[in-house]
Structure 1
């Protein structure tokens, strides 16, 4: 009886990293690379290390904000599920505060005074998700598809009477101020967009924004806030900046 010879084991040889050089500027663009070179006093190796640090920090920021985003959309959905009494689901009912036209007057610019329906983008986002997943898709599928930008704007002053007072404030402890929640979520949304597009966070108030994140998460769930604080890598990365 013969036995087949064992397959050879391939051993991967580590590829040495190339030294920082013109390829980095070509990769990042002169403008983007120049930001890191300036911070590194012209030291190309340090500039590349700083860019990698910024990338790691962006990933850590996105992770923490992502945890809050999931909690926020689920809390808002639960509050609307409990309080909406329309004929259809609040995602689809034309009378829903997410869909009904909400006109506001905008002045200035080359267009002059005009009326803007601030629910237009929300409607289009919901309808876009419906088009992707079908009219029979369960609400949870549509909710999960909506971006942080959709949920972020539901707490603005324009939605106070139509959304916050009758519905969304139930997602938070009694006495929570809409303006406090909206300011924190708005700032986090801006930071999230910078991180998602790999923009420099070198001068961004990351520590302040993470404190905002923990505050809002704590209003939704103290345990979630504690979990994010315990598992976050943001503080460690901030302390190890090249």
Structure 2
């Protein structure tokens, strides 16, 4: 997710995208909760390179890049190149929205796991499908490899 987003951002804002005020001001600055604009400016002020900034930004940051407001600037021109396996039956807007929804659900799953909270009530099959879809859209060859090595599907079928 993050590498695809970085490729698209760099295509629009250049290699120093993390310092580009035009990009920074496209990010939301909500009064409460996670603040992607603030997170980026804090990381950019402390870290010497875009690569270091990418590594430090929270997973939630990348989700914000798939908001509708980024559609014309980033995703209309670059979604097909950065997520070449996306479902071509969808419009670019629908594909971006699907990515946003999938990323948000994966983020929720990740947060529950990271905080040692139960995930048994979740539809884990659907979570697996979302993760696989993101991988397939980003790198179809990696999704094919994953299909040949993963054991999650068999494990979920044995779930009580």
TM-score, scaled relative to structure 2: 0.76
Instruction: State the 1:127 CA deviation.
Output: 2.6
Give the equivalent residue in structure 2 for 1:140: 51
1:189 Cα shift? 1.1
Structure 2 equivalent of residue 202 of structure 1? 120
Q: Which of 187, 196, 208 lines up with 2:105 in the alignment?
A: 187
1:94 is aligned to 2:21: yes
1:76 aligned onto 2:1: no
**Change in 2 beyond 3 A, CA 1:128/1:116:** closer
Contact 1:102 1:117 in 2 (8 A): no
Structure 2, unmatched stretches of 5+, are: none
Q: CA deviation at 1:132?
A: 4.1
| 1:8 match | none
**Backbone CA RMSD of aligned residues:** 2.9
User: Unmatched 5+ residue regions in structure 1?
Assistant: 1-71, 104-114
Structure ranking higher in helix proportion: 2
Q: 1:212 aligns to what? A: 130
Matches of 2:30 and 2:39, distance apart in 1 = 17
Partner of 1:123: 37
How far the C-alpha of 1:222 sits from its partner, in A, is 1.0
Q: In structure 1, what is the equivalent of residue 67 of structure 2?
A: 156
In the alignment, the residues of structure 1 paired with residue 26 and residue 6 of structure 2 have an alpha-carbon distance, to the nearest angstrom, of 20
Q: Report the Cα distance in structure 1 between the residues aligned to 2:131 and 2:19, rounded to whole angstroms.
A: 30
Following TM superposition, by how much is the alpha carbon of 1:188 offset from its aligned partner in structure 2, in angstroms? 1.1
Deviating above 6 A after TM superposition, structure 1's stretches of 4 or more consecutive aligned residues are: none
Q: Distance in 2 between matches of 1:92 and 1:100?
A: 11
| Superposed displacement of residue 231, structure 1 | 3.8
